[in-house]
């Protein structure tokens, strides 16, 4: 007996009585043979310590009773997903996903397809006996046309679906390197099955790729046959529909090379953007002339106007000054082309409510934004809008200050309309004095630290925005 | 001199033969026959070996489906006199007894605060907690977290897998977590629904993993705006069976980072999934985030199925076939839940000490409520905010002493009473019969309760006005 079996099956009803040394399978069941070939291969390849067997749902759910390897028991159909999780957690482990026909070819189709296409070295042993065993003889995805089962009492028809030929499906995919269908009904087939399972595991040991062995197996109990009749049935009825043989066998080089995870604190800090910049502060006090503790802004325009970037710059500038600040973008379908707006808050200690339903300041990049949000601005607030596109601002029945600055025109004169949001920030600074000029410029330079060539243009845009407000 | 390959003849203990007869056809010398006597121990009819013609080809052994069925005859032992129980060794396995490999705490360089989105903060929290394995399926408004992981993990030799579905996601997590490593996902309400079956398996198999659910509007496809309508799922409905998980509710990007790190600590502490509930706003909101002083390099727990010698004897599994075993397992889980309830209740209090009106809110609505409290206080009304940081276990022990002074509780939420249900259930389970009247401010479908509405509701309470 292979050393990859436990000396005693303690998990089988606590190993009491005969169960300590007998499987739970019915007499003549093919699973026991597939288990033996797998166990023998694990021993012969000297990988018992590295092996993780994934038990499926179905009759072979208790694979873990028997295999003296690491064991993980998966939900119905998900064994390949669980196998993938184990394999990427420890790339040196040898992961064998053992599945029946309902598990792999019905409920778990999506998982087997994805993991096969990923092509990473995992071995799948797929036991196809054309029927559901554990639930009591219902139709499997591999049940033959005409075959009677508990849920096809009159025989399977095309309406119940045609038998799914998984080995051929797998061989069609680009991911797998080796696919073979084998059987168990005589000495020759058993020998082939043993070799195929060995090879499928060996390919994983060599780091070469995904391997799939379909084993045509007997279920005498639900076929209502003797074990010997069941063997004949597999030979005479199953193999014409599920032809035996190698379906795919690529010669490949080892491809599995996964490095150990990195826990270098400096590298991680850098990756997440952590720096020490010692950004100077320019503001003497919180701009309480706009609001005592918490200033609400809204920036609105069409997608591409740069409202979100401007909002981020205001937020970043506030945090540089030691205030708390938040930015919520509008998101979803409308942010991919339609209206785009952002709510920004700046608070001396803590931003409480981050939404700006009634902002102190509105920056409107187009007419619909002004029409929509203009009336919501608080009395005494400021509305700054792009007078290049909004030639006739609507009459607003609130006591907000209305400031038109030609963002687009100025930006176009500078040769790049995309800096119109920076023009708007210049106008914002001039119109409200929310932060000193240098606070804005520092935030802009910070944002452009990887595109230094853009800094002069942006500085100019900002300064023109200020001038345009003063020269109105 | 060439050695002759030894080919022992077969033997079988009748108790371990099920009489399937595969060996009969396998034997070219016809040495094996169907038996005629029922074995009293098994009720089956074992085969009978007549080995006079046997040449030790062992084809019968290869044909036998039972591991302890047909065996080659041992050389020295008189197997016919052996107790089959002892024949195959006393110990079930030679695998060693595993011990835990502990986490390492690593100092982080100190840097300026980051200005980042809530989902980014959570992803960075996961990286700092030692997570290098991410599995997920894109769903708005949680995608940015996954995108950041996809960007950063390759540089850290980590693994990012975009699974074929949320169902596949949770099962990949089951595998990775089964290997003992920290892993996580970002999802949003419909995706979380799909993961619930897998979460039940993880609770059953006692596996750690962090699920960040950026809740969106429902039911059905709903919309992608913020809601809090998965509180019921997270607190009461984590799939089938007797399940619970610690549910954390951040309300700022900073807390998204801090509580994600805490989630990893708690998920390993209890060997149980942890759910971090955010809302669509919280996922998208950008704010100031300070990095902690230390990060974690994870070890490997002793129970893991890592795929090495030390962990060979382990099993990850949620099956307990016997009723008594499954009852014991549930009692064990209940004990864990009880210790979570005992040790993990967390809440943040804002002006609660002398409050006549206590607002109860979490996530983004808690920020609206905090704004309302500040404004109400400036009007001379003694309002306070009770903000649960764990929704399960509900921090009832912190709420209890406040109930003496309070005359009103106002639950502020973006759902149709799911938070209020948790409050009422916690009061009831704590045996508190005499509690203040509960009012509420609710919005659904992606609309959040606004500060002025909360103020209006509080001002309309009779006792406050009188």
Domain boundaries, chain B: 10-87, 104-343, 347-465
Among chain B residues, the shortest Cα distance to A118 is held by B161
Q: Provide the CATH number for the domain formed by B10-87 in this structure.
A: 3.30.70.20
What is the arithmetic mean of pLDDT over A324-334? Answer: 75
Q: Is residue A261 part of a domain?
A: no
Note whether A374 and A364 are within 8 A (CB).
yes
Q: Is B178 on the interface with A (CB under 8 A)?
A: yes
Work out the pLDDT band at A355, boundaries 50, 70, 90.
Answer: confident
Say whether both A158 and A234 belong to one domain: yes
pLDDT at res. B231: 98
Phi-psi region of A13 (alpha: psi -120 to 50; beta: other; left: phi over 0): left
User: Do A7 and B116 make contact, defined as CB atoms within 8 angstroms?
Assistant: no
Confirm whether A70 is domain-assigned: yes
Residue at A285 is within a domain: no
Whether A29 contacts chain B with CB within 8 A: yes
pLDDT at residue number A335: 42
For the domain spanning B104-343, the CATH number is: 3.40.50.970
Of the two residues B44 and A277, the one the predictor is more confident about is: B44
- Confidence grade of residue A333 (pLDDT, cut at 50, 70, 90): very low
**B88 contacts in chain A (CB < 8 Å):** 1, 7-8, 21
Cβ B410 vs Cβ B372: under 8 Å: no
Average pLDDT over residues A301-324: 94
Q: Mutation test of the interface with chain A: which of B33, B115, B294, B366, choosing the one with the most A Cβ atoms within 10 A?
A: B115
Mean pLDDT for all residues in chain A: 94
Paired sense of beta strands A123-128 and A94-100, if any: parallel
Higher pLDDT, A68 or A340: A68
Q: What is the ipTM of this complex?
A: 0.96
Output the tens digit of pLDDT for each of chain B's 466 residues.
455 567 899 999 999 999 999 999 999 999 999 999 999 999 999 999 999 999 999 999 999 999 999 999 887 767 666 776 677 776 788 999 999 999 999 999 999 999 999 999 999 999 999 999 999 999 989 999 999 999 999 999 999 999 999 999 999 999 999 999 999 999 999 999 999 999 999 999 999 999 999 999 999 999 998 999 999 999 999 999 999 999 999 999 999 999 999 999 999 999 999 999 999 889 899 999 999 999 999 999 999 999 999 999 999 999 999 999 999 999 999 999 999 999 999 999 999 999 999 999 999 999 999 999 999 999 999 999 999 999 999 999 999 999 999 999 999 999 999 999 999 999 999 999 999 999 999 999 989 999 999 999 999 997 665 5
Binary contact (B141, A331; C-beta < 8 A): yes
In degrees, to the nearest 5, what angle opens at C-alpha B315 toward C-alphas B311 and B318?
150
Domain final residue pick, A249, A274, A305: A249
User: What CATH number corresponds to the domain at position A361?
Assistant: 3.40.920.10
Residue A376 lies in a domain: yes
Beta-carbon pairs below 8 A across chains A and B = 351
CA distance B213 to B41: 55
Looking at the structure, tell me whether residues A220 and A89 fall in a common domain. Answer: yes
Query: Between residues A44 and A357, which one has the greater pLDDT?
Result: A44
pLDDT digits (tens, 9 = 90+) for A86-143: 999 999 999 999 999 999 999 999 999 999 999 999 999 999 999 999 999 999 999 9
Contact list in B for residue A81 (CB cut-off 8 A) is 163, 167-169, 171-172, 174-175
Contacts of B155 in chain A (CB under 8 A): 262, 267, 271
DSSP letter at A106? I
Contacts of residue A459, Cβ cutoff 8 Å, sequence gap at least 6: A441, A444
**Measured between beta carbons, which residues in chain A are less than 8 angstroms from residue B297?**
263
For residue A102, being part of any structural domain is answered with: yes
A121, B334 Cβ separation under 8 angstroms: no
Looking at the structure, tell me whether residues A230 and A345 fall in a common domain.
no
Label residue A432 exposed, middle or buried (CB < 10 Å: 0-12, 13-18, 19+).
Answer: buried
Q: How confident is the model at residue A304 (pLDDT cuts 50, 70, 90)?
A: confident
Please name the residue of chain A whose CA is at the shortest distance from the CA of residue B28: A187
Residue A72 lies in a domain: yes
Could you list the residue range(s) of the whole structural domain that residue A392 is in? 294-470
Query: What is the model's pLDDT at position A100?
Result: 97
CB contact under 8 A, A32 and B163: no
- Partner residues linked to A404 by β-bridges: A385
CB contact under 8 A, B65 and A9: no
| pLDDT reported for residue A336 | 45
Judge whether A134 lies within some domain: yes
Rounded Cα distance, A51 and A329, in Å: 49
- Distance to chain B for A51, nearest Cα, Å: 6
CATH architecture assigned to B347-465: 3-Layer(aba) Sandwich (3.40)
pLDDT value for B465: 57
Residues of B in contact with A66 (CB under 8 A): 67
B156 touches chain A (CB under 8 A): yes
Same fold, B10-87 and B347-465: no
A109: contact with B, CB 8 A cutoff: no
What would the two tokens of residue B62 be? Answer: 């290869």
Reduce the DSSP state of residue A337 to 3 states and report it: coil
Q: Which helix (H) or strand (E) holds A240?
A: helix A239-241
**Integer Cα distance of B385 and B355 in angstroms:** 9
Q: Is residue A269 part of a domain?
A: no
Beta strands in B48-173 (DSSP E): 48-49, 71-72, 104-107, 114-117, 133-136, 159-162
Q: How many domains does chain A have?
A: 2
Sequence-ordered list of residues with C-beta below 8 angstroms from that of A321, at least 6 positions apart, any chain: A281, A282, A283, A435, A439
Interchain pair A36, B67: CB under 8 A:
yes
Give dist(CA A371, CA A428) in Å, integer: 19
What is the Cα–Cα distance from B36 to B454, expressed in whole angstroms?
85
Sheet containing B246-248: order of strands: B159-162, B133-136, B183-187, B210-215, B274-279, B246-248, B390-392
Distance CA A20, CA B360 (A): 57
Spell out the residues 6+ positions from residue B324 whose beta carbon is closer than 8 angstroms to its own: none
**Alpha-carbon distance values, B137 to A136, A389, B169, B412 (Å):** 35, 41, 7, 31
| Whether A231 and B171 lie within 8 Å, measured CB to CB | no
CA geometry: angle A52, A56, A61, nearest 5 deg = 100
Q: Among the three residues A187, A222, A249, which one is the final residue of a domain in this structure?
A: A249
Residues 43-82 of B with CB under 8 A from A: 44, 59, 62-68, 71
pLDDT of residue B105: 98
Which of residues 60 through 99 in chain A touch B, CB cutoff 8 A? 61, 64, 66, 68-75, 78, 81-90, 92-95
Q: What are phi and psi of B441, to 5 degrees?
A: -120, 115
Q: Does B93 touch chain A (CB under 8 A)?
A: yes
- Helix and strand totals (H; E) in chain B: 16, 21
Query: What are the residues whose beta carbons fall under 8 Å from the beta carbon of B269, sequence distance 6 or more?
Result: none
Q: Does A103 share its domain with A220?
A: yes
* Lowest mean per-residue pLDDT among A9-23, A164-178, A235-249: A9-23
Q: How far is residue A289 from each of residues A282, A357, A432, B375, B448, measured CA to CA in Å? A: 17, 20, 9, 19, 29
Give how far Cα A275 sits from Cα of A446, B258, B297, B419, Å.
Answer: 11, 19, 22, 40
Q: Quick one: pLDDT band at residue A395, thresholds 50, 70, 90?
A: confident
pLDDT > 70? residue A443: yes
Check whether residue A225 and residue A343 sit in a common domain. Answer: no
CA distance B444 to B381: 28
Q: How far is A147 from chain B (nearest CA, A)?
A: 23
Asked if residue A187 has pLDDT above 90, the reply is yes
């Amino acid at each position: 007996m292979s050393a990859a079996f436990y000396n005693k099956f303690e998990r089988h009803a606590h190993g009491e009585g005969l169960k300590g040394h007998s499987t739970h399978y019915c007499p003549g069941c093919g699973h026991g043979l597939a288990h033996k070939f797998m166990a023998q291969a694990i021993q012969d390849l000297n990988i018992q310590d590295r092996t993780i067997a994934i038990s499926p749902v179905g009759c072979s759910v208790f694979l873990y009773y028997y295999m003296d390897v690491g064991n993980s028991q998966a939900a119905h159909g998900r064994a390949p997903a669980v196998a993938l999780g184990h394999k990427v957690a420890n790339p040196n482990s040898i992961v064998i996903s053992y599945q029946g026909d309902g598990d792999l070819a019905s409920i778990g189709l999506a998982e087997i397809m994805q993991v096969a296409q990923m092509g990473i070295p995992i071995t799948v042993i797929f036991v196809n006996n054309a029927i559901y065993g554990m639930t009591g003889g219902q139709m499997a995805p591999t049940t033959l046309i005409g075959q009677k089962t508990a849920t096809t009492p009159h025989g399977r028809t095309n309406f119940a679906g045609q038998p799914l030929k998984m080995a051929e499906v797998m061989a069609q995919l680009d991911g797998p390197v080796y696919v073979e269908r084998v059987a168990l009904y005589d000495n020759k087939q058993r020998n082939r099955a043993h070799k195929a399972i060995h090879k499928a595991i060996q390919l994983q040991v060599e780091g070469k790729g995904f391997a799939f062995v379909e084993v045509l197996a007997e279920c005498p109990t639900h076929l209502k046959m003797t074990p010997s009749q069941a063997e004949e049935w597999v030979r005479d009825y199953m193999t014409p529909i599920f032809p035996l043989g190698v379906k795919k066998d690529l010669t490949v080089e080892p491809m599995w090379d996964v490095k150990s995870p990195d826990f270098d604190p400096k590298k991680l800090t850098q990756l997440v953007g952590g720096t020490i910049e010692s950004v100077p502060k320019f503001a003497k006090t919180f701009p309480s002339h706009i609001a005592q503790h918490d200033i609400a802004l809204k920036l609105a325009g069409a997608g591409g106007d740069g409202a979100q970037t401007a909002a981020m710059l205001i937020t970043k500038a506030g945090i540089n000054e030691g205030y708390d600040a938040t930015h919520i973008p509008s998101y979803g379908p409308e942010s991919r082309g339609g209206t785009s707006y952002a709510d920004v808050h700046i608070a001396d200690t803590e931003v409480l409510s981050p939404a700006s339903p009634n902002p102190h300041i509105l920056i409107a990049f187009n007419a619909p934004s002004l029409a929509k949000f203009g009336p919501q601005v608080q009395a005494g607030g400021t509305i700054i809008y792009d007078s290049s596109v909004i030639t006739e601002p609507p009459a607003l029945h609130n006591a907000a200050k209305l400031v038109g600055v030609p963002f687009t025109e100025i930006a176009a004169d500078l040769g790049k309309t995309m800096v119109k949001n920076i023009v708007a920030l210049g106008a914002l600074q001039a119109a409200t004095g929310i932060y000193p000029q240098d606070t804005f410029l520092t935030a802009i330079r910070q944002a452009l630290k990887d595109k230094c060539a853009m800094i002069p243009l942006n500085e100019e845009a900002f300064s023109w925005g200020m001038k345009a407000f003063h020269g109105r | 001199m060439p050695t002759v390959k030894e080919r022992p003849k077969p033997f079988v203990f009748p108790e371990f033969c099920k009489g399937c007869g595969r060996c009969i056809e396998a034997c070219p010398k016809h040495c094996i026959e169907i038996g005629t006597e029922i074995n009293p121990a098994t009720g089956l009819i074992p085969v009978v070996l007549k080995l006079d013609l046997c040449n030790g080809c062992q084809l019968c052994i290869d044909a036998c489906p039972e591991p302890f069925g047909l065996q080659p005859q041992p050389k020295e032992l008189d197997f016919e006199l052996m107790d089959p129980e002892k024949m195959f060794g006393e110990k079930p396995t030679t695998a060693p007894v595993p011990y835990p490999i502990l986490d390492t705490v690593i100092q982080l360089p100190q840097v300026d605060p980051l200005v980042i989105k809530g989902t980014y903060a959570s992803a960075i929290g996961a990286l700092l907690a030692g997570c290098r394995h991410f599995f997920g399926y894109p769903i708005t408004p949680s995608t940015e977290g996954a995108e950041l992981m996809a960007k950063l993990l390759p540089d850290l030799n980590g693994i990012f897998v975009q699974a074929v579905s949320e169902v596949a996601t949770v099962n990949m997590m089951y595998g990775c977590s089964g290997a003992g490593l920290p892993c996580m996902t970002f999802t949003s309400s419909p995706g979380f629904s799909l993961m619930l079956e897998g979460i039940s398996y993880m609770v059953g198999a006692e596996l750690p993993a962090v699920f960040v659910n950026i809740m969106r509007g429902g039911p059905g496809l709903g919309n992608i705006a913020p809601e809090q309508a998965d509180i019921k799922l997270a607190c009461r409905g984590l799939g089938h069976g007797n399940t619970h998980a610690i549910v954390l509710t951040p309300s700022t990007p900073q807390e998204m980072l801090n509580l994600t790190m805490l989630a990893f600590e708690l998920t390993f502490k209890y060997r149980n999934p942890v759910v971090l509930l955010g809302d669509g706003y919280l996922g998208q909101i950008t704010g100031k985030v300070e990095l902690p002083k230390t990060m974690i390099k994870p070890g490997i727990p002793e129970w893991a199925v890592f795929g090495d010698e030390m962990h060979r004897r382990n099993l990850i599994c949620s099956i307990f076939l016997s009723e008594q075993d499954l009852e014991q397992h549930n009692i064990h889980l209940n004990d864990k839940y009880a210790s979570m309830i005992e040790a993990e209740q967390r809440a943040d209090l804002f002006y609660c000490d002398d409050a006549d009106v206590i607002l109860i809110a979490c996530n983004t609505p808690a920020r609206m409520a905090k704004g309302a409290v500040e404004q109400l206080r400036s009007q001379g009304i003694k309002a306070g905010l009770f903000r649960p940081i764990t929704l399960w276990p509900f921090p009832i022990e912190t709420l209890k002493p406040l109930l003496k002074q309070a005359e009103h509780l106002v639950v502020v939420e973006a759902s149709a009473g799911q938070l209020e249900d948790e409050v009422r259930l916690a009061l009831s389970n704590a045996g508190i019969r005499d509690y203040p009247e509960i009012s509420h401010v609710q919005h659904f479908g992606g609309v959040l309760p606004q500060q002025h509405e909360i103020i209006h509701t509080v001002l309309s309470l009779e006792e406050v006005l009188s």
